Amino acid sequence: MKLATITHAGTTKAALASPDGKTFWPLEEMLGRAVPTLGAIVGELGAIKSKIKPTGAGLALSSVELEAPIPRPARNVMCVGKNYHEHAKEFARSGFDSSASSAADAIPTAPIIFTKAPECVIADGADIRYPEGVSDSVDYEAELGLVIGKGGRGISKDEAYGHICGYTIINDVTARDLQGKHKQWFLGKSLDTFCPMGPWLVTGDEVDPENLGVKCWVNDELRQDANTRDLIFDIPTLIATISAGITLQPGDVIATGTPVGVGIGFTPPKFLKRGDRVTIEIDGLGRLSNVVA
């Protein structure tokens, strides 16, 4: 099942999307109440799923504006650094990695967790604003994102997938110079528009998160091409690690890390320029595409 947050006739609402993503049915018509975003119902998705069925012709894609599935998460987007082996190595070589002292220290022994401010989330098709005067080293990172449906603290690995309601695509846009200058990652990751997300949320019953191809193009050049099989720390480990002392809540978003091929991995680095289009594709989750304005 594909679910989306759309704006139609000036009103934002959660909707069911057709398999091809070209038609939308507002959930309010099925549930008999207003559902302004997916964030409002992810915690009860299991209970209401049987009621979510297409009714009538639906709304054409041309008549709606597609928002990020969780347009403004209630809390910071939780992210994982250096979670693919080859990316961890390229990051250590880049000179921007404050988490490793040498190439021998490149592969983390425990998940590296940081966050992005929720206000930096934007939708598929929205512009990534070039941060003029703030950074000139803007990079892209294609990532599998997951959305928590069932909250909890101290979640075991065996129980982890039961707490996920669905998956989406995230571009963890990063100002590398700020990341290096401040010796931490929050500022460089949280500039306005630095978290494209979407185009929709695909429920967990339709996704094999342990075997998903992840690709990223800048313009027509394929930069990243990997599979989630290559994660250093799998999804159950990430959920168990975060929830050990932090209570996860319905609607929390976790980005699972990016594979090799980011801009700083090239010599010289291939940072994003104005006018560049970044397109990310993950098996079964569609395409997320944004232009640097």
Question: Where are the domains positioned within the chain?
Answer: 2-66, 77-291
- What pLDDT shows up at residue 86? 84
Which three-class secondary structure state does DSSP give residue 280? Answer: strand
Residue 153 banded pLDDT, cuts 50, 70, 90: very high
Backbone torsions φ then ψ of 208, nearest 5 degrees: -105, 90
- Who has greater pLDDT, 214 or 92? 214
Cα distance between residue 61 and residue 120, in whole Å: 24
Q: Tell whether the torsion through CA atoms of 81, 119, 213 and 38 is positive or negative.
A: positive
pLDDT of residue 88: 83
In CATH, 77-291 is 3.90.850.10: yes
In this prediction, residue 96 has a pLDDT band, given cuts at 50, 70 and 90, of low
CB atoms within 10 A of CB 225: 15
Residue 263 pLDDT: 97
- Is the pLDDT assigned to residue 135 strictly greater than 60? yes
The answer on pLDDT for 176 being more than 60 is yes
- Collapsing DSSP to helix, strand or coil, 35 comes out as coil
Average pLDDT over residues 75-81: 97
Q: What is the CB neighbour count within 10 angstroms for residue 40?
A: 18
pTM of the model: 0.96
- The predicted pLDDT at position 38 comes to 95
pLDDT tens, residue by residue, 248-285:
999 999 999 999 999 999 999 999 999 999 999 999 99
Tell me, what's the pLDDT at 182? Answer: 83
Per-residue confidence (pLDDT) for residue 87, from 0 to 100: 87
Tokens standing for residue 126: 């929205």
High-pLDDT (> 70) share of the chain, %: 96
CB atoms within 10 A of CB 252: 26
For the residues 150-160, what does the mean pLDDT come to?
98
Look at residue 233 and tell me whether its pLDDT is greater than 80.
yes
Instruction: Give all strands (DSSP E) within 45-171, no chain letters.
Output: 59-60, 65-66, 77-81, 112-116, 121-122, 138-139, 142-148, 164-171
Confidence of residue 8 (pLDDT cuts 50, 70, 90): very high
Looking at residue 255, its pLDDT comes to 98
pLDDT tens-digit series, residues 205-215: 999 999 999 99
